């Protein structure tokens, strides 16, 4: 029988492995000779499944939410707010008051029933002329003018400056008994509704010579205030040297001193009654226990030790009905 040559298995494996290595080396040499900057990437089904599970893409809802969450551009800056118009301080009326000292008013031989209309030993202090803001607070101005002219059946004439607060203001026009130098309660005054209007409290007590209707500082007796026909006519005048911010928003500024500020300063320099610290403590204790005498005792605090009174008052007629404002 013929015989056939048989190649051992190790030699076949060795030949196959050698052929595979030679084929790979030829592929590498070909890639080195012809490099492709954009090689084509082939995907099979398995690789696509892997990419779909490992990579996450935003959903349409998420993209819509991102668009809604985008910060809008800032709005253009608002224009600066305009300042409110200044209060109307045009002087529409002028009135005067003559102030005097009466050294014998509190003499022991003076009879209680005498009206305080004149003082034989009066010492004139001078005249104060006020400009009134009739466009800003017409009711307050009208009532004040009526008390200056006596048109209401009552007048400031012959009444006292009842309290002086040094370096701040003094008060006059307290209602009560005429024989005590107080104003007779007026009968024919209009009810002043400006006391509850915010517009009436715009002006400040910013300097000496401010004329103001007493509201928070009013010290008329409670019996008088309970009268249905009660009309507040008590007023104050700031004396300086500085402003009185504690009076703002509680009292109505309705005019200012046009002439005679030196008279105002002279009144402010008159000494007043000042209780001792011990008396103040006793008074506070009495008020705490509801003793009515505490309030009566306080009525003489800050009272001038010299009798200052309004010896005359009235209206000044001017050619021009409107004068330039005296205060900003």
Dihedral over alpha carbons 170, 176, 177, 181 (to 10 degrees): 10
pTM, two decimals, is: 0.69
Angle at 167 between CA 164 and CA 171, to 5 degrees: 25
Cα dihedral 132, 264, 169, 293, rounded to 10, equals: -110
Enumerate residues 6+ apart whose C-beta is below 8 A from 86.
328
Q: Give the pLDDT of the chain (328 residues) as one tens digit per residue.
A: 444 444 444 443 444 444 444 545 445 444 445 555 555 555 555 554 544 555 555 555 555 555 555 566 677 666 655 666 788 899 999 999 999 998 765 554 444 344 555 577 789 999 999 999 999 999 999 999 999 999 888 999 999 999 999 999 999 999 998 888 899 988 889 899 999 999 999 999 999 999 999 999 998 988 899 998 899 999 999 999 999 999 999 999 999 999 999 999 999 999 998 888 888 787 788 878 777 777 777 777 899 999 999 999 999 987 555 555 444 3
pLDDT of residue 297: 73
- Contacts by residues 79-88 (CB-CB < 8 Å, ≥ 24 positions apart): 86/328, 87/133, 87/136, 87/199, 87/202, 87/203, 88/133, 88/135, 88/136
CA 21 to chain centre: 97
pLDDT score recorded for residue 279: 82
Kindly report the CATH number that applies to the domain delimited by 93-272+305-316. 2.40.100.10
Beta-carbon contacts of 169 under 8 Å, excluding residues fewer than 6 positions away, are 205, 236, 237, 238, 239, 244, 247
3-state SS class at 277: helix
User: Is 141 in contact with 92 (CB distance < 8 Å)?
Assistant: yes
pLDDT, residue 111, reads 43
pLDDT at position 22:
52
251 contacts 217 by C-beta, under 8 angstroms: yes
């Amino acid at each position: 029988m013929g015989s056939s040559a048989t190649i051992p298995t190790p030699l076949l494996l060795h030949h196959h492995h050698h052929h595979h290595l030679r084929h790979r080396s030829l592929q590498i040499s070909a890639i080195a000779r012809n490099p492709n900057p954009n090689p084509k990437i082939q995907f099979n089904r398995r690789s696509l499944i892997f990419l779909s599970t490992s990579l996450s893409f935003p959903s349409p809802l998420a993209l819509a939410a991102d668009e809604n969450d985008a910060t809008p551009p800032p709005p253009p800056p608002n224009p600066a707010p305009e300042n409110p118009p200044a209060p109307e301080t045009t002087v529409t009326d002028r009135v005067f008051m003559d102030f005097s000292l009466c050294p014998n008013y509190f003499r022991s031989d003076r009879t209680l029933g005498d009206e305080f209309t004149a003082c034989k030993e009066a010492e004139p202090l001078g005249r104060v002329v006020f400009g009134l803001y009739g466009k800003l607070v017409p009711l307050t101005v009208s009532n004040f003018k009526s008390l200056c002219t006596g048109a209401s059946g009552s007048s400031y004439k012959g009444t006292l400056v009842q309290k002086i607060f040094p370096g701040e203001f003094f008060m006059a026009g307290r209602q009560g008994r005429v024989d005590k130098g107080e104003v007779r309660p007026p009968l024919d005054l209009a009810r002043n509704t400006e006391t509850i209007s915010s517009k009436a409290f715009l002006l400040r007590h910013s300097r000496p010579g401010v004329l103001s209707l007493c509201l928070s500082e009013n010290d008329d007796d409670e019996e008088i205030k309970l009268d249905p026909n009660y009309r507040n006519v008590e007023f104050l005048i700031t004396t300086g040297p500085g402003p009185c911010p504690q009076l703002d928003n509680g009292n109505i500024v309705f005019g200012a001193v046009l002439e005679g500020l030196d008279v105002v300063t002279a009144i402010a320099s008159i000494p007043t009654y000042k209780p001792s610290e011990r008396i103040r403590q006793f008074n506070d204790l009495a008020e705490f226990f509801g003793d009515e005498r505490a309030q009566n005792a306080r009525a003489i605090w800050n009272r001038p030790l010299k009798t200052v009174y309004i010896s005359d008052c009235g209206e000044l007629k001017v050619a021009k009905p409107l004068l330039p404002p005296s205060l900003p």
